[in-house]
Chains A and B, each alone.
Chain A
Amino acid sequence: MTLPDTGDLSIKNVTKTFGSTTAVDHVNLEVQRGEFLTLLGPSGSGKTTLLMMIAGFEDASSGDIALDGASILNVPAEKRNFGMVFQGYALFPHMTVRRNISYPLDVRKRPKSEIESRVEEMLALVQLEGFGDRLPKQLSGGQQQRVALARALCFAPPVLLLDEPLGALDKKLRIEVQAQLKAIHDRVGTTFLYVTHDQEEALSMSDRIVIMRDGKIEQVGTPNELYEKPRTVFAADFLGKSNFLERSEATYALRPEKIDVAPSGDLQCAVSVTGKIQTISYFGAVQKLMVMLDDGKCLEVDVDIWRNRNAFSVGQVVDLGWTDDAVTKLEG
């Protein structure tokens, strides 16, 4: 994959207020060309508002947004040339799949022959050859999602904005489409700016993730960095599961799968404590143990079921241990 020659997006000190509420609060972010960047956060964290400002549907209250170094704040939405995949797809119901995909080229008055070949190319990209003459309502949710993607990529935008595009799909299909989306990103090389509240989507597809909270950026990093080295309680809790330990006036995060557990007396580890199993929840591949320590605090522990067949039962006293590098010191 060669690096595209456009698609650097910089968000400089952008703020958006609605009346007395601040939806986006002095956000600074550099999106690099060709990158798959995910804005991850709970609803109300400002991620969709930020995306809408980039798309041009909302005006920034202050700050600047620039593409390849040039401010786009005064460019209307229809001139920004950003592709967008909407939540619920927003396909035009009265147009065929082909007309939907060719729409951005039609309004740009490109020559007919170019439009035709480009649409076929796009149908092939999203594996919908032969579906061109159908209406959107004659397609499944996953197929509609791919039409929306083809339509948004058809005019080769420098940046593709995706607003929770997989929200309407069921879980199994979602995982399939995640892989397809990542593959398409690798093929077209466009900057993808992806908004979601689903941490698994963020982890599996992104080059970098931006965790947002209350209109501010909580932490930015690669999926691995964010998972292994969360900086705050919020980041550790929102991306994956975490136990929080208070030691000498600092808070530490400890992932449930990084705790070793063994029947009492069996464990040799740097740090180890004793506790009693309160509940066991079954998840097929793993089981989650809630273990109450002697000081009354509960720890969540993930246990690989296959490697610990019939090892644990409710009420059992167990030893818990972890190595020093398993815990991450948090700020605040």
Chain B
Amino acid sequence: MRRKSFADRIRTCAVWSLLMFLVLPALVAIPVSLTPKRFLSFPSSELSLRHFETLINSSQWISSFFQSATIAGATALLSTIFGTLCAVGLWRVSSKMGETVRAFLLLPLIIPQIISAMAFYHLWIPLGILDSYPGLILAHTILATPMVLITVSASLANFDPKLEQASRNLGASTMTTLWMVILPSIKPGVWAGALFAFILSWDEIVVTLFISRFSVYTLPRRMWNGIRENTDPTVASAAVVLIVLTALAFVSYELIIRKRQRSA
């Protein structure tokens, strides 16, 4: 093996520093969550799990956790259905008109969230869904559907259109073809889209701040308030729980994908 030159070492160092730069800020929550003090700070002498205890025993935090999970779950489900149907429809039409529609559908991703937030706020008042589950789920679904459209469209790009023709030729209706032939072939894109949609809703704060008030109180909103108003280290322990859960979700997703690739 070639001996590592000085330049190689510099390069390795640079790559690792960059990776650390990307990851470390998020990990700062870990030591902070272990502080024994009553305010946001680094632990100096001893470590304590008291803020995790507060977190688990706080009905407010637990309620926010389940509210966020409900909203993110519903958002993932709805935007996956809409996004997948859109993607398949646009794929089948595949015309200039279709491409215009696609660009249009991607707008929620491009428009700054603060502007979407204002739009939702003004629209949700007359609709009477401000500060409600339907209101939040609808808003998050509108934001997340383009994500699903993108991942499913990417899967469809590799899908052989002859399979669709074959299915119809053999007597299957459009719905049967979608269910039996197209969906099984684009499953990875659909799952990726659902995961992205879930994560988008799970940590969405800008729109949520505008359109929720008292009755719906999502986890990001509680953390936001926790930092802004009382610098409570429980926020840090909540962040650690979220990091761990997200990491677990991604690792299991990767494992499933790899297993499937090996068996394929």
Contacts and interface: CB of A to CB of B under 8 A. Distances in A.
Interface in B138-187: 160, 162-163, 165-174, 176, 180-181, 184-185
A109 B165 CA distance: 20
Task: Tell me which of A78, A80, A84 has the highest count of chain B C-beta atoms within 10 A of its own C-beta.
Answer: A78
A76 B165 CA distance: 12
Contact of A78 (B160, B173, B180, B184): B173
A80 B162 CA distance: 17
Interface in A123-143: none
Nearest to B183: A94
B163 A78 contact: no
A87 B162 CA distance: 9
Contact of B171 (A55, A78, A91): A78
Given A78-B172, A104-B171, A155-B171, A84 B185 contact: no
B169 A84 contact: yes
Contact of A92 (B165, B168, B169, B181): B181
Contact of B162 (A83, A86, A103, A108): A86
Contacts of B172: 78, 103, 107
A77 B168 contact: yes
A90 B166 contact: yes
A92 B171 contact: no
A88 interface: yes
Interface centre among B163, B168, B174, B181 (most CB of A within 10 A): B168
Interface in B185-228: 185
Query: How large, as a class, is the contact surface on chain A?
Result: 20 to 34
A91 B163 CA distance: 7
Contacts of B181: 92
Contacts of A77: 165, 168-169
Contact of B166 (A56, A76, A81, A84): A84
Contacts of A152: 169-170
B185 A57 contact: no
A151 interface: yes
A301 to B, nearest CB: 44
A81 B162 CA distance: 17
A81 B169 CA distance: 7
A55 B169 contact: yes
Contacts of B169: 55-57, 77-78, 80, 82-84, 152
Given A88-B162, A90-B165, A92-B163, A103 B185 contact: no
Contacts of A92: 163, 166-167, 180-181
A19 interface: no
A93 B172 CA distance: 17
Q: Is the interface of A mostly helix, strand, loop or mixed?
A: loop
Contacts of B174: 78
Contact of B168 (A78, A94, A151): A78
A90 B160 contact: yes
B250 to A, nearest CB: 25
A108 B163 contact: no
Contacts of B166: 84, 86, 90-92
Given A92-B181, A94-B184, A104 B162 contact: no
A155 B172 CA distance: 13
A56 B168 CA distance: 10
Contacts of B167: 92, 103
A104 B185 CA distance: 19
Interface string A54-95: 011100000000000000000011111111101110111110
A92 B165 CA distance: 11
A133 to B, nearest CB: 15
Contact of A107 (B160, B163, B171): B171
A222 to B, nearest CB: 29
A161 to B, nearest CB: 8
Interface in B89-117: none
Contacts of A155: 170-171
Nearest to A80: B169
Interface of A: 55-57, 76-84, 86-88, 90-94, 103-104, 107-108, 151-152, 155
Given A103-B180, A152-B169, 20 more contacts: A56-B168, A56-B169, A57-B165, A57-B168, A77-B165, A78-B173, A78-B174, A80-B169, A83-B169, A83-B170, A86-B166, A90-B166, A93-B163, A94-B185, A104-B170, A108-B171, A151-B170, A152-B170, A155-B170, A155-B171
Interface of B: 160, 162-163, 165-174, 176, 180-181, 184-185
20 contacts: A76-B168, A78-B169, A78-B172, A80-B169, A84-B165, A86-B162, A86-B165, A92-B163, A92-B166, A92-B167, A92-B181, A93-B163, A103-B172, A104-B171, A107-B172, A107-B176, A107-B180, A108-B171, A152-B170, A155-B171
